[in-house]
């Protein structure tokens, strides 16, 4: 939305100042750009000690009227979604705003016909196909709450998420292809449903022609369901603080947390940040490579872009199929202007020959984005040089499932970028650094490093953990009084730019010294032979704990391992200090990762401690096979 966009650095500074001095005025001006049935009585009401946070109380709206109906006047024939299939020989689908509006309304009636009412929970376990977008928006249209579970999770993980929020309906697909491998989603659902009694019905989208086992009286096909209902569905009028969705995120311990997002604030936050950070212009083609099963997909494939009237690309496949040039082929084919991906994908792609990039015309690109973890210097430059051809600003966007929307990020072409820095807070976001004693570090002390907390609420903050408000309070609001604690560490330079240094919960005490593993990993990553690494602690007779690194190197490295080990430790001594030197360095072919690309340090910690009898559930990993390999060659 052009009307939301900041257009100069000077304006950014003014807006930022306004957002801190008078947040209610600032956010009500932004919120006024959306469609409401009734405006709010109060912009913001909050108390972090409870914690209780309410935005736009008293307002009435439906988010799908902002994603769809509102665009029918001027953008009806504009493409809302371009879907790119796994197999490059299959045809793409282009869905206009009008078509999407009809499809969502039609499917909303299917939900109603299955007994789903306002407030009911619906679980979506689906591949990256337009029907996932349609199903989530159909839920929002009738006021049902969607809980999307990433379609790579195991039946156990699916069942526990269904049970936690007592979903009534499950929507899935029979099968999906990601890369060469077919995945039978329906079979996973059938297994999960043996242990998830709250589900009364299952609606199955037929993605492939393979025969599908259906349970009589419980399961029906998407297409058959559509035949039973008509295509018109008025939007349910909702309160701004009604639930929009629940999305599970893993905690450092214990069961996953069902983060609850509510309608009004989330809509305003996701759309405002989308419009600003990417500086989306009306004919742009925007592509975020995340899966909709993660918050990035919720906020920046669906809600933010559609509320802003953008064209958003959905990709069903993987970056490596049919070859490692697939992303660049799609950019070329669709003339993508905005490309938003994760550092782990960038590092994986950078390992392959540049010819896979150079074959394709990337001149349509205007803005590049990064999200999910700190982007190391080398990956940043590879992305900047080879993909952006040094002409595209890189927006390194720091945020979390809990924050709902981007918090610290450059605004493309408006605020300065700096390699490895998420840079400045977006308007409305008040980050602070906290020292070991729990005190706020004054800005005047810059450069400084500490734990990252946020001082005041922003519209898209998660309001609770579903069914467990106490855990919400304990996790985010108990570390420092009257602040939201992010769990991350950060460094701030003299101009106020933030660099996220990694989770601070990954701390190892070595000889009485409190060592964060993130800065050690950053030091190792500086070595030109290293692709990525993970550092964990293991018990040590003298030091209490010592450090163990798992390291991957580029394929063409022929240097002897012991020489590499020496150089890595020299680097660490130089950048972090001799205290952080590694006792063990194991070269591995890959690191165990979650589906969202986060390294599973829990498993590495066990291997390093020679305690591999019970590694826990590794079925949800992206690459479970790697664990056996690492175990075999453990030092």
Decide whether 131 or 449 has the Cβ nearer to ligand WT7.
449
Given CA atoms 468, 596, 458, 147 in this order, what sign does their dihedral have? negative
Stretch that binds ligand WT7, among 213-221, 305-313, 367-375, 433-441 (CB under 6 A): 367-375
Q: How many residues does the chain have?
A: 635
Please state the closest distance from residue 398 (CB atom) to ligand WT7, in A.
4
Q: Does 400 participate in binding ligand WT7 (rule CB under 6 A)?
A: yes
Please state the closest distance from residue 493 (CB atom) to ligand WT7, in A.
15
Q: Does 596 participate in binding ligand WT7 (rule CB under 6 A)?
A: yes
Decide whether 319 or 372 has the Cβ nearer to ligand WT7.
372
Residues 163-182 that bind ligand WT7 (CB under 6 A): none
Residues 238-257 that bind ligand WT7 (CB under 6 A): 249
Of these, 372, 404, 428, 457, which contacts ligand WT7 (CB under 6 A)?
372
Please state the closest distance from residue 536 (CB atom) to ligand WT7, in A.
17
Angle between helices 517-525 and 561-575 (to 10 degrees): 120
Q: Distances in Å between the alpha carbon of 465 and those of 20, 259, 299, 616?
A: 27, 5, 18, 24
H/E run at residue 315: strand 311-315
CA distance 367 to 384: 10
Number of other residues whose CB lies within 10 A of the CB of residue 175:
19
Please state the closest distance from residue 315 (CB atom) to ligand WT7, in A.
17
Decide whether 503 or 527 has the Cβ nearer to ligand WT7.
503
Q: Does 398 participate in binding ligand WT7 (rule CB under 6 A)?
A: yes
φ, ψ for residue 242, nearest 5 deg: -70, 155
Please state the closest distance from residue 221 (CB atom) to ligand WT7, in A.
33
Given CA atoms 562, 563, 564, 565 in this order, what sign does their dihedral have? positive
Please state the closest distance from residue 370 (CB atom) to ligand WT7, in A.
6
**Which residue pairs from 211-219 have beta carbons closer than 8 angstroms and sit at least 24 positions apart in sequence?**
212/174, 212/175, 212/186, 213/186, 213/187, 215/190
Decide whether 341 or 596 has the Cβ nearer to ligand WT7.
596
CA distance 296 to 275: 15
Q: Does 344 participate in binding ligand WT7 (rule CB under 6 A)?
A: no
Residue pair 30/22 in contact (Cβ under 8 Å)? The answer is no
Contacts of residue 470, Cβ cutoff 8 Å, sequence gap at least 6: none
Number of residues engaging ligand WT7 in binding (CB under 6 A):
21
**Which residue pairs from 10-19 have beta carbons closer than 8 angstroms and sit at least 24 positions apart in sequence?**
12/411, 12/414, 12/415, 12/424, 12/427, 15/427, 16/424, 16/425, 16/427, 18/427, 19/427, 19/428
Q: Does 503 participate in binding ligand WT7 (rule CB under 6 A)?
A: yes
Stretch that binds ligand WT7, among 105-113, 151-159, 263-271, 366-374 (CB under 6 A): 366-374
3-state secondary structure of 346: helix
Decide whether 85 or 502 has the Cβ nearer to ligand WT7.
502
- x-or-dash pattern for ligand WT7, window 543-582, by CB under 6 A? ----------------------------------------
Stretch that binds ligand WT7, among 28-36, 485-493, 538-546, 559-567 (CB under 6 A): 485-493
Please state the closest distance from residue 420 (CB atom) to ligand WT7, in A.
9
Q: Does 258 participate in binding ligand WT7 (rule CB under 6 A)?
A: no
Residue pair 375/410 in contact (Cβ under 8 Å)? The answer is no
Please state the closest distance from residue 400 (CB atom) to ligand WT7, in A.
4
Please state the closest distance from residue 551 (CB atom) to ligand WT7, in A.
20
Angle between helices 97-113 and 130-142 (to 10 degrees): 60
The token duo for 498 is: 């933030």
Q: Does 295 participate in binding ligand WT7 (rule CB under 6 A)?
A: yes
Please state the closest distance from residue 406 (CB atom) to ligand WT7, in A.
8
Residues 419-458 that bind ligand WT7 (CB under 6 A): 422
Of these, 401, 460, 464, 553, which contacts ligand WT7 (CB under 6 A)?
401
Of these, 397, 460, 475, 586, which contacts ligand WT7 (CB under 6 A)?
397
Of these, 175, 225, 373, 506, which contacts ligand WT7 (CB under 6 A)?
373
Decide whether 486 or 522 has the Cβ nearer to ligand WT7.
486
Angle between helices 185-193 and 155-165 (to 10 degrees): 50
The token duo for 289 is: 């490579």
Footprint on this chain of ligand WT7 (rule: CB under 6 A): 249, 295-296, 370-374, 396-401, 422, 486-488, 500, 503, 596
């Amino acid at each position: 939305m052009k009307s939301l966009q900041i257009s100069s650095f000077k304006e950014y500074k003014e807006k930022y100042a306004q957002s801190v001095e008078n947040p209610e005025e600032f956010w009500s001006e932004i919120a006024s750009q959306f469609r409401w049935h009734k405006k709010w009585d109060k912009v913001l009401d909050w108390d972090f000690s409870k914690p209780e946070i309410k935005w736009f109380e008293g307002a009435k709206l439906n988010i799908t009227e902002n994603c769809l109906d509102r665009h029918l006047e001027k953008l009806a024939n504009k493409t809302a979604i371009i879907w790119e299939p796994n197999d490059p020989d299959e045809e793409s689908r282009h869905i206009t705003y009008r078509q999407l509006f009809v499809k969502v309304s039609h499917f909303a009636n299917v939900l109603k016909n299955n007994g789903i009412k306002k407030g009911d929970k619906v679980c979506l376990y689906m591949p990256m196909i337009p029907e996932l977008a349609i199903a989530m928006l159909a839920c929002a249209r009738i006021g049902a709450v969607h809980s999307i579970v990433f379609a790579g999770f195991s039946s156990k993980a699916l069942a526990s998420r269904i049970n936690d929020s007592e979903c009534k309906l499950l929507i899935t697909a029979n099968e999906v292809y990601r890369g060469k491998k077919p995945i039978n989603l329906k079979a996973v659902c059938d297994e999960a449903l043996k242990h998830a009694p709250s589900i009364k019905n299952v609606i199955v989208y037929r993605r492939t022609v393979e025969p599908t086992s259906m349970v009589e009286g419980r399961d029906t096909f998407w297409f058959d369901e559509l035949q039973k209902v008509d295509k018109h569905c008025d939007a349910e009028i909702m309160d701004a603080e009604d639930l929009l969705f629940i999305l599970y995120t893993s905690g450092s311990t214990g069961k996953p947390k069902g983060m609850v997002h509510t309608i009004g604030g989330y809509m305003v936050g996701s759309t405002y940040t989308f419009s600003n950070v990417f500086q989306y212009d009306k004919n742009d083609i925007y592509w975020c490579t995340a899966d909709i099963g993660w918050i990035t997909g919720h906020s920046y494939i669906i809600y933010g872009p559609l509320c802003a009237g953008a064209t958003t690309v959905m990709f069903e496949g993987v970056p490596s199929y049919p070859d490692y040039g697939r992303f660049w082929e799609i950019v070329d084919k669709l003339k993508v202007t905005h490309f938003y991906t994760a550092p782990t994908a960038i590092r994986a792609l950078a390992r392959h020959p540049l010819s896979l990039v150079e074959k394709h015309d990337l001149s349509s690109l205007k803005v590049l984005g990064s999200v999910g973890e700190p982007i190391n210097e080398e990956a940043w430059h590879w992305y900047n040089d080879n993909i952006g051809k040094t002409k595209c600003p890189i927006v390194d966007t720091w945020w979390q499932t809990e924050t709902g929307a981007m918090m610290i990020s450059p605004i493309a072409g408006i605020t300065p970028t700096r390699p490895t820095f998420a840079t400045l807070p977006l308007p409305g976001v008040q980050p602070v650094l906290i020292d070991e004693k729990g005190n706020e570090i004054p800005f005047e002390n810059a450069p400084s490093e500490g734990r990252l907390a946020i001082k005041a609420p922003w519209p898209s903050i998660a309001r609770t953990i579903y069914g467990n408000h106490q855990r919400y309070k304990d996790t985010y609001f108990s570390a420092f009084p009257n602040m939201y604690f992010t769990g991350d560490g950060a460094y701030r330079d003299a101009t106020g730019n933030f660099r996220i240094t990694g989770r601070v919960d990954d701390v190892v005490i070595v000889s009485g010294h409190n060592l964060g593993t993130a800065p050690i990993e950053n030091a190792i990553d500086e070595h030109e032979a290293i692709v990525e690494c993970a550092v964990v602690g293991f018990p040590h007779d003298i030091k209490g704990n010592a450090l163990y690194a798992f390291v991957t190197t580029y394929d063409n490295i022929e240097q002897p391992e012991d020489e590499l080990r020496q150089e890595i430790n020299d680097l660490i001594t130089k950048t972090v200090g001799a205290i952080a030197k590694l006792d063990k360095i194991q070269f591995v072919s890959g690191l165990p990762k979650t589906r969202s690309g986060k390294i599973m340090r829990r498993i590495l910690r066990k291997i390093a401690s020679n305690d591999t009898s019970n590694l826990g559930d590794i079925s949800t990993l992206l690459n479970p096979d790697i664990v056996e390999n690492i175990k075999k060659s453990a030092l």
